Chains A and B, each alone.
Chain A
């Protein structure tokens, strides 16, 4: 089955700096890669996603890049703010889509230092 590795497990950055979280996946048929943000005690919330026919997608301060050849994708957050502090999860849908559930990475705890 699909395996998603996520690094780092904890990331501390100064407010205003950029943060980058990286993920790799194993199933070359995977074609959908979402990123979720989860605040303490809350449900995961989708913040951005990318499909395999696109190399990069941006939404204000958040961007995701995908390298299908290397099977890795990354989340970039610029001009970080205190409200960006949370746990971030990358995920992939294996087997090229269909009804399969998401395979998640183990998460990155992002800490924004004031």
Chain B
């Protein structure tokens, strides 16, 4: 099992550009999450999904959109990137009845 994987690992964007981050998990988990991590701020929840075709807002959803067209994939989109979105983005997943969240390796995004 690969667990949780994220694509890409690094990316540099210019202000106003768009991009999509891909999260994939092979553990048949129902729930998937996107977090961002900034220095001194810990991890903060952006959006999450409780199953294929469903999404919900987390603590810091503004400027991001998500989609869960397939159970194993959870996409995070930035339509018009801003320097404030420079961060490390982590995806996570967990089983519906369990509590432990499994994290992906992260994507380091820089917006100039």
Contacts and interface: CB of A to CB of B under 8 A. Distances in A.
Interface in B39-70: 40-45, 48, 50, 56, 58-59
Interface string A76-114: 000000000000010001000101111111110000000
Nearest to A33: B99
Contacts of A43: 90, 103-106
Interface residues of B, number: 24
A34 B99 contact: yes
Interface of B: 31, 33, 35, 40-45, 48, 50, 56, 58-59, 90, 92, 96, 99-101, 103-106
B62 to A, nearest CB: 16
The interface size bin for chain A is 20 to 34
A99 B43 contact: no
22 contacts: A1-B59, A42-B105, A43-B106, A45-B103, A46-B100, A46-B101, A49-B100, A51-B99, A89-B43, A93-B99, A97-B99, A99-B56, A101-B35, A101-B48, A101-B58, A101-B92, A102-B45, A103-B59, A106-B40, A106-B42, A107-B40, A107-B42
